[in-house]
Structure 1
Amino acid sequence: MDSVTLQDAPAPLPAPIADARPSTRSHHGDDVEDRYEWFRAKEDAAVVAHLEAENAYTAERTAHLEGLRGRIFDEIKGRTQETDLSVPTRRGQWWYYGRTVEGEQYGIQCRAPISSPDDWTPPVLAPDVEVPGEQVLLDGNVEAEGHEFFSLGSFEVTADGSRLLYGVDVAGDERYTVRVRDLVTGEQLPDEIPGTFAGATFSPDGRFIVYTTVDDAWRPDTVWLHELGTSVADDVTLFHEPDERYWVGAGFTRSDRYLMIEAGSSITSEQLIVDATDLRAQPRVIWPRTEGVEYDATHAIVDGEDVLYIVHNDGALDFEMVRVTASDPTGERTVVIPHRPGQRLLGMSAFRDWGVVAYRREGLARIGMLDYRTGGVSEIGFDEPLYAAGPGGNPEWAPPVLRIGYVSFVTPSTVYDFDVATRELLLRKRQPVLGGYDAEDYAQARVWAPAQDGSSIPISLVWKRSFGDAGEQPRPLHLYGYGSYEHSIEPGFSVARLSELDRGVVFAVAHVRGGGEMGRQWYENGKLLRKRNTFTDFVDCGRYLVDEGYTTPDRMVAEGGSAGGLLMGAVTNLAPELFAGVLAVVPFVDALTTILDPSLPLTVIEWDEWGDPLHNAEVYAYMKSYSPYENVRTDTPYPRILAVTSLNDTRVLYVEPAKWVARLREVGADALLKCEMVAGHGGVSGRYNAWKERAFELAWLLDVLGLADD
């Protein structure tokens, strides 16, 4: 390169160094100086300028990966059948399905008429074949025109198929405007309800819309009834929950007999029931709320009697299921499925002639058919050692088949219809993966890592066979974790992940405590004052994978998002030497500051998960001992860090990763921040945008692993 070019080249951007504007936080006799809390002023021009400077710096630091990002995006795109259709689901006189079209960001919702009342075999749809009688109900690409962000939070058609409601968010803050369309005339009706939460629904007769709204802390707190054709100002409050620890939701039973209203916290629930023919009637409580008791009721008709099947944990850690009469739900209970320690009963779906039970055993999600007469449950079996299966879209009350979704690390998303009479699994569709994908080229396995306290932590692994078996020699490894809210990380398939596996990376999931993979006690042992188990479990999994020869610290990257981002921040402080890089997506890394402030979105609800540090000095001290922002170290080098966030995220505010990165930079860490300026908790909208975002993250990850020059 000649001297003129060198002289004319722009100087590298310096890492953004934010102004220190100290403020003091005082609780329980503890004064904490916070130099970056001023980032919280979202409308402050200086905050926006700082975030834009972070984005510019990240763009420059990753500019050398542009080619790799493009290749990964092309790989994702090339493996995806861009013009495709979902498997139709029957409701009433129509088959409902979705279309995707090459070049379009968003899906198109369609329907076609059934051929006869006995037609339960969904039509096999092909992208290039016209569907007789097809109607386009909603084209997301049309609705998104003129908006940088677009998301649907509600989508439902009346039982008679005459009207559509849909909820739209164009900011990313998960506040949706519900609109109604006449599907006979195509006319947009004047009914428009702003500021709703996701999940609005029609009443069975199509006269009403039931929806929820949130309070200032973004807590769904009120259930409303809107009569079509009337002013929103006249909407009726069906239920309001004043307790800030509880959220609310509502929906109709599959039988269309009742509206169910639920109020729930992380540890307690209460349901109320309203006759669907008299929605303005006073709701009846099914079981009065009892602190620490969770339950979920569903309606069925057995021998001509209205009954409720209730899955609950009253004296049953892993839950049991009972049956009660709908007219007297607090009366006599008949135990249908007793408590079985180690088998976590998840829920029950009622149909006219049978029920479907979901549960977890040995770390896997399973489903079984419930015989109403005998109470017996017959499990639907699958062959793979690792998989996830559960009921799919089943809106009809009396179908002869059950729609099931199935997936594994190596088997793409699959749709089955289970013929209840013959017990035959009918394959309806498997997600096409283009480019010659063969599941036999990949392998999956589960191993168990010893934890510090003697527990065994399951680790799921998937890899490409041509590089040899995992564990034969140290390989680049991508370790993922979550570990909160009893949420289980299932063995799911990912097209984007193939770009890692095909470059020799082993992908692993550490099923740490705080998740739900191994039953309710697994969750209990990773929350509140046992939360540190989540973090030490992940570290123990990483060390096991090193000790057993799967990888080495300089060839391992960790990833987690949201509460899993808290996990990333915590393990980065606990064992920075164990990882070459850490990818933290919308990370909850300033947890103590957030949970101390009840005015912030969802804080009070979160006290059942993390504890209440505002009023409890022990909880305060415990959270302060692990909250990542509070515990950035000065005595050790950190791995490379990429934090990804969104300006309009209402669940984990952008301020948390922004503060964390600023603090990490103080101690010399190589930390990057990427902030989407128009997006929410789930990141950018639109499938091509999402692919580009994932390509950006994977290119950075591969660079850390030394695989960028592929």
Structure 2
Amino acid sequence: MSTETIPALLKPPNAPKKDFQHTEHNVVRNDPYYWMRDRENPDLIAYLAEENKYTETITREQKSLRKTLFEEILSRIQEDDISVPIEHKGYWYYRKTVEGKAYGLYCRKKGSMKSTEEVLLDINDLAQNHDYFNLGAFSISHDQNKLAYSIDTSGREIYKLYVKDLTSKQLLHDQIDEIIGNVTWSKDDQFLFYIKMDETLRPHQLYRHKMDSNPKEDQLVYEESDPKFRVDFGESRSEDFLFLYSESSLTTEIRFLSSSTPLASFQIFSPRHTGHEYRVEHQGSRWLILTNDSNNMDGSHNHDAQNFKLMEAPLDHFQSQYWKELIPHRKSVELSSVEGFEKHFIIFEREEGLEHIRVFDLENSLDYRIPMPEPVFSVWNLSNPNNASRKFIFGYMSLISPTSYYEWDLESKTLNLLKEVEIIGYNKEQYHSERIWAPAKDGTQIPLSIVYKKDLTRSQTHPLFLYGYGAYGINLDPYFSSARISLMDRGVIYVISHVRGGGEMGRHWYEDGKFLNKRNTFTDFIDSAEHLISEGYTSAEKLAISGGSAGGLLIGACINMRPDLFMSAIADVPFVDVVTTMMDESIPLTTNEWEEWGNPQDQTFFDYMLSYSPYDNVIAQNYPNLLVTSGLYDPRVQYWEPTKWVARLRDTKTDNNTLLLKTNMTAGHAGASGRYGRIEETAFSQAWLLSLWGLE
């Protein structure tokens, strides 16, 4: 649909303005859409409905293309499928999907995969009569006879806990409301540990529940009083220890307890001091500790081991003065995680933008990296519950290789493919992936991961989809998407820009894109786009950009800074009202986020955040075509942020390009919950982009 015809078809919604001003640090900010924060306001609901209707009307001519894309994406999926079975304590556990069903089934077989199947949980049954459904915890008791699971039916990420007797198939009376997703059993299966949230949805309390008792009598074990810290809980791989985590974005404090004595008091592994981050794993008679602390002999602390180092300590002498170095800090290699087994341990480490798996074989005094089948890839840890196993299972994918599950044999040093997810009709030999580097204005080289159809002629520019995130030190590694094939088969080039603020190049990459360096994230993305244009991949008239959540902030900032550089943009659940949100401690997650963005109560941070906050920097200029998505019950990015942003853009921008707001009225941050609903959302966005490119 031509953008010039839109005004003739339908007038865009016009959001009412109501006088409201913020005054901070002697700066007055007008916020005429502040009234939208009331989810119960019928005027707000009516406005969102009007925006949704407008979006549907504007995209009406794309319905046929949406249907085609939906069918294409669905046709590539092997709907009847099964995950790699994992053996644990006499059972083989797996998840399967069934044609026509939106959710998976969790199953097991006793003794071998030839035994009779036992369905532990059919999510399709649980999700009936719910517009939204998400499974949180799925935790089998140590004796394999009970299942603790939690569900969220609102999208607010507030879960209810249930316990199922796997012998009788009946639910027990142990039901607990309003917890976070995960739960942990004590070793004797007599107690469950779970976490409660405060009014801002900050996980802050650890409770202990005795099985077959009234949840109202559950014991509060720990409460975190510092609003910057959140609480988490889990157990060691060995199942011998329970860990209580108190964490902010910059600081860690871990308490531990023998899982065999769940009523005992927790011990602090290393007391919190600002800037010290660490992780602990149990292996036999020792602790393995990932730490960024230099652990000076005089008892002082600094955190110059930015990429972390690995230490060890005896089980009964865990204090930092007993820590001994196993792997030193390296400037070029970041240690991500450690997994301890009986006779070896596994390190995930990151170098030059790629995650690698290093094996430390204690029995044979060897250490080496597991070789991978491609030069650019993603790997991740999977469940390896057998502590004595000499085999290690991990996940693998690349831009052209579908999700695969490999097993590394420590004895034969061979890599065995257990399963590659079948993508029906897909031949990866028809596609090409590459990694290039884009120069940023300050000379930093930004990695770009690129994939496209091999028959693409590079003698001309092409439609290009550029994706980015760049926050929280999260690694946006090269990943496979079967939905992406529909774009590539129509001549679209797909690119991931690994901008600063993420963690792809090590901890410094994250530090260089947060706090008072946040603008590097945006300029890296802009420089990536300009490099792709200068290298002949695309042109500004054919360049689409996309990002979600903190990646939506990236999109909002970039189209304010360089609206001429992009043909279109998609911002999914975008964090765009940065200053207002970070000033409001009543909003979920705000206090946790101060160590990511800064606390605007400090004027230095206030001024800097105000310089890039997308909502505060909308001006009268032409903007690219823009599709914005939102979830009414999103606890991470409140629905009013994208809603206010779209309203201000409508009132201010000077062009006739498409501006659409699509709000899911029953979902949260992750959008639709069933697989068919997610495909519909993807098909909608793809159809919108392809129509703008003039592609069918």
User: TM-score, normalization: structure 1?
Assistant: 0.94
1:355 is aligned to 345
1:516 is aligned to 503
The reply on whether 1:169 has 2:163 as its aligned counterpart is no
Aligned pairs for 1:162-561 within 5 A: 162-301=145-284, 305-313=285-293, 314-330=303-319, 331-372=321-362, 377-435=367-425, 437-468=426-457, 471-561=458-548
The Cα offsets for residues 273-298 of structure 1, whole Å up to 9 and x where unpaired, read as 11111112221111111101100001
1:87 is aligned to 84
Secondary structure in structure 1 of the residue aligned to 2:638: coil
Distance 2:83 2:459 in 1: 40
How far apart are 1:206 and its partner, in Å? 1.6
Letter in 1 for 2:624: P
Q: Is the 8 A contact 1:312 1:321 kept in 2?
A: no
Distance 1:258 1:644 in 2: 42
How far apart are 1:399 and its partner, in Å? 1.9
Letter in 1 for 2:632: L
Secondary structure in structure 1 of the residue aligned to 2:694: coil
Letter in 2 for 1:446: R
Distance 1:375 1:690 in 2: 47
How far apart are 1:373 and its partner, in Å? 6.6
Which residue of 24, 28, 32 corresponds with 1:31? 28
Which residue of 108, 111, 132 corresponds with 2:115? 132
Distance 2:694 2:365 in 1: 56
Q: Is the 8 A contact 1:559 1:568 kept in 2?
A: yes
Secondary structure in structure 2 of the residue aligned to 1:432: coil
Aligned pairs for 1:68-107 within 5 A: 68-107=65-104
Letter in 2 for 1:377: D
How far apart are 1:299 and its partner, in Å? 0.6
Distance 1:13 1:153 in 2: 42
Q: Is the 8 A contact 2:288 2:310 kept in 1?
A: no
Distance 1:401 1:704 in 2: 50
How far apart are 1:29 and its partner, in Å? 0.7
Distance 2:499 2:72 in 1: 31
Distance 2:366 2:328 in 1: 11
Q: Is the 8 A contact 1:199 1:211 kept in 2?
A: yes
The Cα offsets for residues 570-615 of structure 1, whole Å up to 9 and x where unpaired, read as 000010000000100000011111011111101011000000002x
Letter in 1 for 2:191: F
**Structure 2 segments unaligned to the other structure (5+ residues):** 1-6, 294-302
Letter in 1 for 2:50: A
Distance 1:225 1:672 in 2: 47
Q: CA RMSD in A?
A: 1.4
How far apart are 1:99 and its partner, in Å? 1.1
Distance 2:148 2:50 in 1: 41
Secondary structure in structure 2 of the residue aligned to 1:569: helix
Letter in 1 for 2:673: S
Secondary structure in structure 1 of the residue aligned to 2:322: coil
Aligned pairs for 1:579-598 within 5 A: 579-598=566-585
1:682 is aligned to 670
| CA distance 1:597–1:136, change in 2 (3 Å) | same
**Structure 1 segments unaligned to the other structure (5+ residues):** 1-9, 116-122, 124-130
Aligned pairs for 1:542-691 within 5 A: 542-614=529-601, 616-634=602-620, 636-668=621-653, 670-691=658-679
Distance 1:444 1:92 in 2: 41
Secondary structure in structure 2 of the residue aligned to 1:189: coil
Q: Is the 8 A contact 1:385 1:445 kept in 2?
A: no
How far apart are 1:375 and its partner, in Å? 7.3
Secondary structure in structure 2 of the residue aligned to 1:393: coil
Q: Is the 8 A contact 1:255 1:300 kept in 2?
A: yes
1:699 is aligned to 687
Secondary structure in structure 2 of the residue aligned to 1:593: helix
Secondary structure in structure 2 of the residue aligned to 1:630: helix
Secondary structure in structure 2 of the residue aligned to 1:666: helix
Letter in 2 for 1:623: M
Distance 2:201 2:274 in 1: 23
Distance 2:88 2:219 in 1: 29
Which residue of 53, 56, 62 corresponds with 2:53? 56
How far apart are 1:266 and its partner, in Å? 0.8
Q: Is the 8 A contact 1:261 1:272 kept in 2?
A: yes
Distance 2:172 2:463 in 1: 56
Letter in 1 for 2:672: V
Distance 1:515 1:249 in 2: 23
Distance 1:183 1:397 in 2: 25
How far apart are 1:372 and its partner, in Å? 3.9
Distance 1:375 1:537 in 2: 43
Q: Is the 8 A contact 1:582 1:641 kept in 2?
A: yes
Distance 1:317 1:306 in 2: 24
The Cα offsets for residues 208-259 of structure 1, whole Å up to 9 and x where unpaired, read as 1111111111111111111110111111122211100011101111111110
Letter in 1 for 2:94: Y
Which residue of 146, 152, 158 corresponds with 2:141? 158
Distance 1:49 1:395 in 2: 51
The Cα offsets for residues 649-687 of structure 1, whole Å up to 9 and x where unpaired, read as 000011000000001101245311000000010001100
Secondary structure in structure 2 of the residue aligned to 1:188: coil
1:127 is aligned to none
Secondary structure in structure 2 of the residue aligned to 1:237: strand
Letter in 1 for 2:519: R
| CA distance 1:375–1:574, change in 2 (3 Å) | farther
Distance 2:692 2:473 in 1: 31
Q: Is the 8 A contact 2:276 2:291 kept in 1?
A: no
Q: Is the 8 A contact 1:477 1:505 kept in 2?
A: yes
How far apart are 1:114 and its partner, in Å? 2.1
1:145 is aligned to 128
Distance 2:366 2:47 in 1: 61
Which shows bigger deviation, 381-390 or 571-580? Answer: 381-390
The reply on whether 1:18 has 2:10 as its aligned counterpart is no
Secondary structure in structure 1 of the residue aligned to 2:671: coil
| CA distance 1:377–1:290, change in 2 (3 Å) | farther
Distance 1:542 1:284 in 2: 51
Distance 1:457 1:354 in 2: 35
Q: Is the 8 A contact 1:355 1:370 kept in 2?
A: yes
1:126 is aligned to none
Distance 2:396 2:639 in 1: 35
